[in-house]
Amino acid sequence: MASASPTRAKDIPAKIVVLGESAVGKSSLALRFVRRDFIPNQEATIGASFLSRSVSLVDESPPVTIKFEIWDTAGQERYRALAPMYYRGAAGALVVYDITSADSLRKAESWIGELRRNADPQTVVVLVGNKCDLESMRQVSIQQGQDLAEKEELLFYETSAKDGTNVDALFTNLGKTLLSRGVIASG
Ligand code: GDP
């Protein structure tokens, strides 16, 4: 799939992998971030290539532009263990669950284990409780998400790919964390 924004020489690339149970909204989140839109009932996979979007962090000194290269699982989550190359070189990882599915939070815990076994220890992991627009169907409290994130030392956000809540904030904060931890470097 074509890149949403052209790469400029000064952009810092950051590979981000997206993990989680099927139908939690991984592809929708990636598409919301890259295309700033929600595409309902889209095909389960976005394909083998990745989506990308460059984001300028203007309050960094000097300002930097991060090119997020987002790798979706392309429907392979059923096979549990993804190829090690999927994780290789990942600066960040989103472990996504659906706040309307307690089971998807349990599955997120096993994805965190999968990441610990396969990803570089410095990979910054964000626990993401998606579909927060579906408040009336909520099965997972914010506290439960926060508790897991704290226990595993992860960043935490609740998001809605549907209405866009917290999607840009998540990536902006992830970018800042990648810089402050030296996972990616400017210049
Ligand atoms: P994936 O299998 O994890 O990539 O999940 P998809 O992105 O294919 O989404 C699965 C279903 O959930 C689709 O019908 C989406 O339209 C829907 N969906 C995804 N994100 C949201 C969200 O934030 N809110 C709501 N209400 N539905 C969502």
Task: Kindly give the distance from the C-alpha atom of residue 95 to the centroid of ligand 1, in angstroms, as a whole number.
Answer: 14
Show the ligand 1 pocket: residues with CB < 6 angstroms: 20, 22-28, 40-41, 44, 130-131, 133-134, 160-162
pTM score, two decimals? 0.90
pLDDT by residue, tens only, the chain of 187 residues: 444 455 555 899 999 999 999 899 998 999 999 987 787 665 555 444 578 999 999 888 888 999 999 987 655 655 545 567 788 899 999 999 999 999 999 999 999 998 998 899 999 999 999 999 999 999 999 999 999 999 999 999 999 999 999 999 999 999 999 999 999 997 6
- Looking at domain 12-181, its CATH class is alpha beta
Assembly ipTM: 0.99
Task: Kindly give the distance from the C-alpha atom of residue 42 to the centroid of ligand 1, in angstroms, as a whole number.
Answer: 9
Q: In what order do the strands lie in the sheet with 64-71?
A: 51-57, 64-71, 12-20, 92-98, 124-130, 155-158
Atom of ligand 1 nearest to the CA of 161: 23
DSSP, residue by residue, the chain? ---SS---TTPEEEEEEEEESTTSSHHHHHHHHHHSS--TT--S---SS-EEEEEEETTSSS-EEEEEEEEP-TTGGGGSSPPHHHHTT-SEEEEEEETT-HHHHHHHHHHHHHHHHHS-TT-EEEEEEE-TT-GGG--S-HHHHHHHHHHHT-EEEE--TTT-TTHHHHHHHHHHHHHHTTSS---
Atom of ligand 1 nearest to the CA of 42: 8
